[in-house]
Amino acid sequence: MKALLLSQKTYDFEVKDIEKPKVSKSEVLIKLNAAAINHHELWTLKEKNLKSDAPILLGSDGAGIIEDVGTEVERLKPGDEVVINPSLNWGEKDRIQSRQYEILGFPTRGTFAEYILIGAQYVYPKPEHLSFEEAAALPLAGLTAYRALFTRGEFEPDSKILITGIGGGAALFAMNFAIASDAEVYVTSSDETKMSKAIELGAKGAVNYKNNDWSTELKKMAGGFDIIIDSAAGPGFSSLVDLAHPGGRIALFGRTAGNISSLNPRAIFWKQLSIHGTTMGNDQEFKAMMEFISNKNIRPVIDSVFPPKDINLAFEKMDQGKQFGKIVMDLNNFSSSFQK
């Protein structure tokens, strides 16, 4: 089978023929139709810290059709259209992942290939209303957003919510989940077009965080927030503490703006604020997210779809922050996409 392997020497993707995996008794072999890219893989490309001699098969998100199942697999069968939960080995504690936890793509081989072999417990029926591209866009970013909003954000009906850096996949999922739950949602971005698109999708208001008085604008616009979902951190994080209502929750799952430089401890303890770090989600949250997506008929926002041969262009677009929604690879006709 064909696969996009990341060379540990050059950190470039190379198309290679590798052996097609065979199922064991508890596994599922999936012919992948689509895979999505994430900042999770982008950080790998930028930081170059996997420390392995062998080429690596990245990719956390994927959707496709089951080709074969192991003898002990009962709830799935060949021909089923499925999506993969990339949150592996979470463990017994819902609040925190185990020491064995990993995100699909390393060391377990990921989705940037024609096929993937995965344990049956991580395979779920594709929501009927989603295309394969939409389903592939869902797992990592959707799960991250679901846990940030509902579990760590301790969502309550009629909440007023701020989501920073709108345009990325997880931020858009969080916005759509919150709007579908009848919350009042506000967003920030440095791109006026992205702000307008967010409002078209149902956001109540938007502010450009490049403005010197962005937090004052938000305060006048919304008054304050019960839940703030942030993926940036950086020097602007201290303003989020000021924007939070007493008893508010801030869920942080990213670091695109760097380290947090300063915080006002008095504001945190006097307002009884909760600052929650969050990463991915557990098995129960993934199942709940899939049901929520189906019940609310939510569709992921797709920015663009690339063929495998243009994977570097896809990551370049993500690195430049030009996307609004998920960037997806069409894995149909994988081999022919490289023919000149």
- Name every residue whose Cβ is closer than 8 Å to that of residue 31 and which is 6 or more positions away in sequence: 64, 65, 66, 67, 114, 115
User: Do residues 76 and 184 both lie within one domain?
Assistant: no
pTM of this structure: 0.94
Cβ proximity of 324 and 197 under 8 Å: yes
**Cα distances (Å, whole numbers) of residue 39 to 98, 214, 315, 327:** 22, 25, 9, 11
Which of 291, 280, 305, 334 lies closest to 131, judged by CA?
A: 305
- Separation CA 76–CA 41 (nearest Å): 29
Nearest to 263 by CA among 284, 244, 288: 244
Residue 110 lies in a domain: yes
Same domain, 230 and 130: no
Asked if residue 306 and residue 206 are part of one domain, the reply reads: no
Which position has the token pair 């950080």? 43
Could you tell me the CATH number of the domain that includes residue 25?
3.90.180.10
The type of residue at 134 is: E
* Residue whose entry in the numeric block shows the structure tokens 């701020």: 162
Which residue in 178, 48, 65 sits closest to 114, CA to CA? 65
Domain match, 157 and 176 both: yes
pLDDT, position 18: 94
- Would you give the DSSP letter of residue 19? P
Number of structural domains in the chain: 2
Cα separation values, 185 from 2, 158, 201, 203, 225, Å: 43, 10, 11, 5, 9
**Does residue 120 sit in the same domain as residue 151?**
no
285 assigned to some structural domain = no
The position carrying tokens 């395979």 is: 123
Instruction: Please list the residues that pair with 306 across neighbouring strands.
Output: 329
In this structure, the answer to whether residues 155 and 223 fall within a common structural domain is yes
φ and ψ at 146, to 5 degrees?
-60, -50
Q: Is residue 73 part of a domain?
A: yes
Give residue 51's pLDDT: 64
Verify that 129 and 187 share a domain, yes or no. no
Please tell me whether residues 179 and 249 are part of one structural domain. yes
Both 150 and 260 in a single domain?
Answer: yes
* Residue 307 within any structural domain of the chain: yes
Q: Per-residue confidence of the chain (340 residues) as pLDDT tens digits?
A: 999 999 888 888 989 999 999 999 999 999 999 999 998 898 888 777 666 677 899 999 999 999 999 999 999 999 999 999 999 999 999 999 999 999 999 899 999 999 999 999 999 999 999 999 999 999 999 999 999 999 999 999 899 999 999 998 999 999 999 999 999 999 999 999 999 999 999 999 999 999 999 999 999 999 999 999 999 888 899 999 999 999 999 999 988 778 888 899 999 999 999 999 999 999 999 999 999 999 999 999 999 999 999 999 999 999 998 899 999 999 998 866 555 4
What's residue 337's pLDDT? 56
Is residue 287 in a domain? Answer: no
**Is 294 domain-assigned?**
no
Task: Note whether residue 164 is domain-resident.
Answer: yes
**Same structural domain, 177 and 232:** yes
pLDDT at 143: 98
**pLDDT for res 45:** 81
SS3 59: coil
| Residue 282 falls inside a structural domain | no
Q: Domain holding 156: CATH number?
A: 3.40.50.720
Q: Is 180 helix (H, G, I), strand (E, B) or coil?
A: helix
273 and 206 inside one domain? yes
Q: Which domain holds residue 53?
A: 2-138+300-338
Q: Which of 267, 275, 223 is nearest to 251 (CA)?
A: 275
| pLDDT for the residue numbered 338 | 58
Do residues 252 and 168 both lie within one domain? yes
